[in-house]
Structure 1
Amino acid sequence: MRKLCFNPKTPSFAMERNSPSSSKSTPTPPRLSYSEEDSFMEEAESLILKWNADTSAYAKVTSLFYEDKTEAKNYINCVNQLQNTMHSLISTNPSSHKLVLAQNLMQIAMKRLKKEFYQILSTNRAHLDPESLSARSSRTSATSSASDCDDEDDDIRAAADSISEVEQVSSAAVADLKLIAHCMLSSGYAKECVSVYIIIRKSIIDEGIYRLGVEKLSSSRANKMDSEVLDFKIKSWLEAARISVRTLFNGERILCDHVFGYSDSIRESCFAEISRDAASLLFGFPELVAKTKKYSPEKLFRVLDMHAVVSELWPEIESIFSSDYTSAVRSQVLASLQRLTDSAQNSLAEFESTIHKDSSKLALNGGGVHWLTIQTMNYLAILADYVNVLSDIFPRADWLPPPRSSSLPESYLYSPESDYSASTPALTARVAWLILVLLCKLDGKARHCKDVSLSYLFLANNLWYVVARVRSSNLQYVLGDDWIAKHEAKAKRFVANYEKVAWGEVVSSLTVNPGAAEAREVFEKFNAKFEEAYRKQNSFVVADRDMRDEIKGSIARSIVPRYREWYDAVLATVGSVRDLTVTEYVTFTPEDVENYVANLFFFGTASSSVTSSPHRRWS
């Protein structure tokens, strides 16, 4: 950031703005007697003409304040006394030739001081930049720690001396600028002084904004810009905003306050003129982005990032641009905040609309996690990281959904999940509502499935993914433990329904008491039902590993013990010599059944791209 701007850190001039000391006036020189007046006029003429660049080659190439500080202060005192003498002459002898001489000398002196003012500003740009002055803030700690050490390193001592020297130069420059500015302002040459200051310091602010990557951007260009390019510009702006406010504008504010500390109106109008264009460019960017017509789910997060940064900087912006002269800047910042708020609200409404409008007719993909579920939960998980910003942006009335106007089925709309009490946090209610919209959409997709068992498994997989995603993100703090427990229980009910529909006939085929007479019929029925169920269910997907193990264990507990009882009873009935007519229709041993169940969903898991949730027993 070197050469970008000015951010004073030194105790010599990094004082509180509008402090009482900044308003003190230089004492008015005493009125001179007639003889003293003549003597002063001769001395004033000699000194002022000495530094007249139009008549002196020496004065043309030499700086008064750089060459001799003592003479420079004498020059300022001379001009102040000359101004006092002119007032005295006007009141006592307005036709005096000395008044004409004084006026001529004053014009020459003001021209000289204007040149000195310009030279000090231009030659000290490097000393009045934020990087070098920020580095100087650590000078005290560096030198004090070095002095405590007897064997202080020469490099540390040299660095401290160098920093001290640079600080003295910049402090002296500010003191000289303040001295000249007060002299010119009190002599009625404020316009000449301010014009020089504005030209140089405005160029520093404008250059700083440019170097930070903030450029003028039209609405049409922003709308035509690729999302990746606009995203890059937003990220650059986020960093530029902090640097600009805390270094660029704040530093210029402090410098302006010190140089023109004797006049509130001049320092405020001067700072306003210097910062107006750069501030408009910087603070107008969020509003421009918010007004772009392109919608993408990611746009909301960038809008929230900008809103967070502007809100974070607002107290500093309000302090730096506190006067009536800079009220337009404050108004623009507030307008940008409102635009960002509107954009965020519209983006979230658009996101909800995309869930409602999803009309993909794809098969349920073995009952696995739907892409809509993955995208929605990823979106909401990121959204949960912006809890503080969202709480500021969305009033409670905007968060709570209007149930009567919703397109959700009544079974979802008036379920316990959609009940929002007066004590429910607004963000919690809104996120729960968006998940409810998703679950309703998934329920609609499941209803179109001809295989009932697959529809239950589809709902179980997706709801469990939702719960797992909530647990692994800040959504757990937004929705709370009660919400998680409630939806875990609902997912288990889906699993229970799946097991009942998918494996119920296999279990019911073993309800007859074991006996040799019914053995053939029971085994044949079991073989057919088990083979049919296994063939169908083995192509299904159970995405979560813990859930998969729990389902297979539950199926095995329902089937294997019953089958083993049948199997052992029948073999005991036929005796130790195995009846060939029995063994002919015994396709599976109990161990076979157990192994087949253990291998369920093996192929289905390979087709699932969903990562298993963090370790946790699904029971």
Structure 2
Amino acid sequence: MAATARVDGQEKVIATAQHIVKSLATSKNAAEDMIRILSGFDNRLSVMNEDLFPRAPHDSSASAGSAGDAEPSEVEARLDAAEKVILRWDPSSCDSLLWEASPEEIAEFLAAVDEVISFAADPQPSPSSSPSAAAGDLRLRAESALQIAMFRLEEEFRYLMIQNTVPLNADGLYGSIRRLSLSFASDSGENIEDLEGSVEEEQQQPQQQEGSPEDRSGSSLSDDRSVDLIRPEAIASLKEIADRMIWAEYWRELHQVYCTVRRDILDECLIILGVDRMSIEEVQRMEWRMLNDKMKKWIQAVKIVARVLLMEERRLCDQIFAACEELREECFAETAKGCVMQLLNFGDAITICQRSPEKLFRILDMYEALADVMPDLQALFLGDSREIICGEAEGILRRLGDAVRGTLLEFENAVKGESSRKPMQAGDIHPLTRYVMNYVRLLVDYSDTLDLLLEDGGMGGGADQDRSERGENDDSRCLGSMTPLGRRLLLLISYLESNLEEKSKLYEDGAMQYIFLMNNILYIVQKVKDSELGRLLGDHWIRKRRGQIRQYDTSYLRTSWTKVLSYLKDDGYGSGSGSSNSGSRMALKERFKSFNLAFEEIYRVQTAWKVPDPQLREELRISIAEKVIPAYRSFMGRFGGQLEGGRAAKYIKYTAEDLENHLLELFEGLPGPANHPRRKP
């Protein structure tokens, strides 16, 4: 009877417990907590735990105590509950993604993960069991559950990284990056269109340049460099996962998944920025115009990568891996290294490409861009990664500097050795002069960089020695006060002047030689005077060249007009205007006739000559008029009367005013057949 009553009472207690559990079905953890509480009051309730929450087969060996019917401890119950939650999300049997579930389920899973991490780190045995055996069993169970949990978190971490990466496309690599890219385009006063415009007018250039300096990439960055590579709302979830994987010492798996995903994203960014992965051989074989475009994109990419993408990548690592400084540094360095090295490899390929003048300005742009971001790279990388990556970048920077010096030397040699033998039609400005002076003016935009490179490269003394050997010590006296770039430009322009002197000798007409030299030297002076070249070369250099132009003017007058003026000399034709000496009149007729023919020949030839500068053209006409018109008036006044009569007009074809008008037509570069001055009516 008593036994029957005891059984009936036990059944009532079990029924009551089941009713409580059913009421708490909305929360399994609450139900389990209630069972543990009731178990603590009466060991008869221990069987309820098995009835309500049967243990998984692999967990049976972990029961506390040596006896099969011993009660589970609170520690084991917590581990049981955590295991159940984790197994529910086992990736081998569950295809769903946790972070697509409800926030309550995510929180429940993370709490379970925290439990098994704690057990794996410090298992607590049941009081009724052997401490060492129970602890070992709990550890094995916890570690098994932990592996499943870490595998799930790794997959969730990868999913969140990929799913929340800000979309990239060729039309816009994030709005702020596009704005930065546009700001890098150019803030130089002159660009490639200016120089190529003059090149299109030229038929010959040193080494047949196809292109030249263009827009520089030295503009300052926008203050707003921050962009989102990962959607901000996902950062907290990524950090929650990272914290637990770091706590569980699964940081290697975390490192691998983060670096794999982010490396691919940065590689995609480089592609969008136009930086392709190319071998040195591919770069060296590339046609110049295509290579020029690649170099421009590289210049933009270097600044965008260092100051935007990697800065944001560093911020991501700092946020996600805040729990572990070592992992934070390793993930950033491993992720960023490939991207930076790809950029540096292209720079290295450029340094060993064949040197030619058209590449100089783009190489200078690359040098300045890399030098500009070196402090950023130094700040981004730490420890061994800084030594490796920044050391490589510094090596590329040095080699780019060597390429600048070598390319400038190539250009100087090209100017000095340009040997085209075809004289310029009409004595106009030579293409070599236009090209070199446009080239030189653009060099001044890089004054600070070139002063540094030329000083370090030991190239500053060549101008002094070269010009001293040529006996041009007047310019050499100014070298001591000039910058390294100023000395090189003085040397370069001296090569150009020497080449022009040689080219002037291609003209058979001595007068045209001086017109050619005046045109070209004046062009050089104007380019110097109207730019920063004037500051580098100094007023003395400009005054000396203007004096040289005046000397050419004098030599031109002497060569071209001496013979004409010789026909207007007073060689004693009779004692006065009334003389009737027939021999004198015949001589006068020959003089007028010879003057007419000589003047007409000069007019015919020199109206086809071209002096493009209006002021020089006007000064030349005035110089000629001052020599010819007074002499003609004087000769006419003294001897014109001796040819009076019907045949006088045959010899006296022009008045002084006619000659003045005809002189105004000289040096216009008139096309067409031979020109003849109009006769007076």
Which TM-score band (shorter chain)? 0.7 to 0.9
Partner of 2:387: 327
Partner of 1:291: 352
Partner of 1:140: none
Task: Give the partner amino acid of 1:357.
Answer: G
1:592 corresponds to which of 632, 647, 658 = 658
With over 3 angstroms needed to count, the CA separation of the structure-2 counterparts of 1:397 and 1:321, relative to structure 1, is closer
Deviates more, 1:251-260 or 1:476-485: 476-485
Where does structure 1 lack aligned partners over 5 or more consecutive residues?
A: 1-34, 138-165, 608-619
Task: Give the partner amino acid of 1:602.
Answer: E
Asked if the contact 1:52–1:112 (Cα under 8 Å) also holds between the matched residues in 2, the reply is no
Partner of 1:312: 372
1:51 corresponds to which of 86, 95, 98 = 86
Partner of 1:541: 610
The Cα offsets for residues 477-498 of structure 1, whole Å up to 9 and x where unpaired, read as 4434443333223222211221
Partner of 1:67: 101
1:453 corresponds to which of 511, 520, 523 = 511
Deviates more, 1:517-526 or 1:503-512: 517-526
Partner of 2:563: 505
Asked if the contact 1:51–1:59 (Cα under 8 Å) also holds between the matched residues in 2, the reply is no
Task: Give the partner amino acid of 2:428.
Answer: G
Partner of 1:194: 255
Secondary structure at the aligned position of 1:433 is classed as helix
The Cα offsets for residues 170-226 of structure 1, whole Å up to 9 and x where unpaired, read as 334212212221221122111122222122222211222222222221222222221
Secondary structure at the aligned position of 1:557 is classed as helix
How far apart, in 1, do the equivalents of 2:533 and 2:479 lie? 19
Superposed, 1:507-522 pairs within 5 Å as: 507-512=565-570, 515-516=576-577, 521=588
Partner of 1:442: 500
Where does structure 2 lack aligned partners over 5 or more consecutive residues?
A: 1-39, 41-71, 180-226, 674-681
How far apart, in 2, do the equivalents of 1:510 and 1:254 lie? 90
Asked if the contact 2:515–2:556 (Cα under 8 Å) also holds between the matched residues in 1, the reply is yes
Partner of 1:142: none
Asked if the contact 1:128–1:170 (Cα under 8 Å) also holds between the matched residues in 2, the reply is no
1:183 corresponds to which of 241, 244, 256 = 244
How far apart, in 1, do the equivalents of 2:166 and 2:73 lie? 44
Say yes or no: does 1:95 pair with 2:130.
Answer: no
Shift of 1:255: 0.5
Partner of 2:620: 551
Partner of 1:203: 264
Secondary structure at the aligned position of 1:444 is classed as helix
Shift of 1:424: 0.9
Task: Give the partner amino acid of 1:201.
Answer: R
Secondary structure at the aligned position of 2:266 is classed as helix
How far apart, in 2, do the equivalents of 1:109 and 1:556 lie? 102
Say yes or no: does 1:42 pair with 2:77.
Answer: yes
1:124 corresponds to which of 161, 164, 169 = 164
How far apart, in 2, do the equivalents of 1:134 and 1:77 lie? 39
Shift of 1:459: 1.3
With over 3 angstroms needed to count, the CA separation of the structure-2 counterparts of 1:443 and 1:548, relative to structure 1, is same
Partner of 2:425: 365
Asked if the contact 2:428–2:612 (Cα under 8 Å) also holds between the matched residues in 1, the reply is yes
Secondary structure at the aligned position of 1:216 is classed as coil
Say yes or no: does 1:424 pair with 2:448.
Answer: no
How far apart, in 2, do the equivalents of 1:186 and 1:369 lie? 77
Task: Give the partner amino acid of 1:299.
Answer: K
Shift of 1:436: 0.7
Shift of 1:581: 6.5
Partner of 2:285: 224
Asked if the contact 1:543–1:605 (Cα under 8 Å) also holds between the matched residues in 2, the reply is no
With over 3 angstroms needed to count, the CA separation of the structure-2 counterparts of 1:220 and 1:133, relative to structure 1, is closer
Say yes or no: does 1:341 pair with 2:401.
Answer: yes
How far apart, in 2, do the equivalents of 1:598 and 1:221 lie? 59
With over 3 angstroms needed to count, the CA separation of the structure-2 counterparts of 1:367 and 1:111, relative to structure 1, is closer
Secondary structure at the aligned position of 1:61 is classed as coil
Q: Which has the larger radius of gyration?
A: 2
How far apart, in 2, do the equivalents of 1:368 and 1:105 lie? 89
Shift of 1:327: 3.0
With over 3 angstroms needed to count, the CA separation of the structure-2 counterparts of 1:55 and 1:351, relative to structure 1, is closer
How far apart, in 1, do the equivalents of 2:481 and 2:668 lie? 46
The Cα offsets for residues 306-337 of structure 1, whole Å up to 9 and x where unpaired, read as 11221222222222234322432212222221
How far apart, in 2, do the equivalents of 1:483 and 1:336 lie? 38
Asked if the contact 1:542–1:604 (Cα under 8 Å) also holds between the matched residues in 2, the reply is no
Say yes or no: does 1:496 pair with 2:554.
Answer: yes
* TM-score, reference length from structure 2: 0.70
Asked if the contact 1:213–1:236 (Cα under 8 Å) also holds between the matched residues in 2, the reply is yes
Secondary structure at the aligned position of 1:359 is classed as coil
Task: Give the partner amino acid of 1:506.
Answer: V
The Cα offsets for residues 241-285 of structure 1, whole Å up to 9 and x where unpaired, read as 232223322221211122112222212221222222222112211
Q: Which has the higher contact order (CA 8 A, sep 6+)?
A: 1
Asked if the contact 2:86–2:113 (Cα under 8 Å) also holds between the matched residues in 1, the reply is no
1:301 corresponds to which of 338, 358, 361 = 361
How many residue pairs get aligned? The number is 535
Asked if the contact 2:517–2:552 (Cα under 8 Å) also holds between the matched residues in 1, the reply is yes
Deviates more, 1:368-377 or 1:39-48: 39-48
How far apart, in 2, do the equivalents of 1:285 and 1:249 lie? 18
| Pairwise CA RMSD | 3.5
Task: Give the partner amino acid of 2:101.
Answer: E
How far apart, in 1, do the equivalents of 2:497 and 2:660 lie? 34
Asked if the contact 2:117–2:248 (Cα under 8 Å) also holds between the matched residues in 1, the reply is yes
How far apart, in 1, do the equivalents of 2:386 and 2:609 lie? 66
- Residue identity over aligned pairs, in percent, reads 28
Task: Give the partner amino acid of 1:228.
Answer: R
With over 3 angstroms needed to count, the CA separation of the structure-2 counterparts of 1:124 and 1:585, relative to structure 1, is closer
How far apart, in 2, do the equivalents of 1:205 and 1:353 lie? 43
Partner of 2:183: none
Superposed, 1:146-295 pairs within 5 Å as: 170-293=231-354, 295=355
* TM-score, reference length from structure 1: 0.77
How far apart, in 1, do the equivalents of 2:339 and 2:663 lie? 70
